[in-house]
Amino acid sequence: MMLLPCPHCGPRNEDEFICWSEATPRRPADPSALSDEAWVDYVYNHDNIKGWSAEQWFHARGCGRWIVFERHTVTHEIRPAARGDD
């Protein structure tokens, strides 16, 4: 079990959250300008790094906000979160 420090609700069990994806890939500014291969790469291919990774989490059973946590993919240590949708 992990405790995630929601900046709005305080420390909460990971069961209250949905981990969505890595936070680093940003939506392309002009998606219509991408080739099909570039769009597939953006949607499906992620870095899957070993170490610290910024991830988007949705506090589904709490404040209902998107939050970016930094999680170590080996130890599952969590760094304080950005407030996300403020």
State the nearest-atom distance from the C-beta of 53 to Zn ion, in Å.
20
**CB contact at 8 A, 62 and 11:** no
* Strand-pair category, 10-13 with 18-22: unpaired
Name the segment binding Zn ion (CB under 5 A); options: 19-27, 29-37, 58-66, 76-84. Answer: 58-66
Name the segment binding Zn ion (CB under 5 A); options: 1-9, 27-35, 37-45, 72-80. Answer: 1-9
Question: Does residue number 68 form part of the binding site for Zn ion (CB under 5 A)?
Answer: no
Q: Is 67 helix (H, G, I), strand (E, B) or coil?
A: strand
* Interface residue with Zn ion, options 2, 54, 63, 82 (CB under 5 A): 63
Measure the CA dihedral 80/19/37/24, to 10°. Answer: 0
Where on the chain is the footprint of Zn ion (CB under 5 A)? 6, 8-9, 59, 62-63
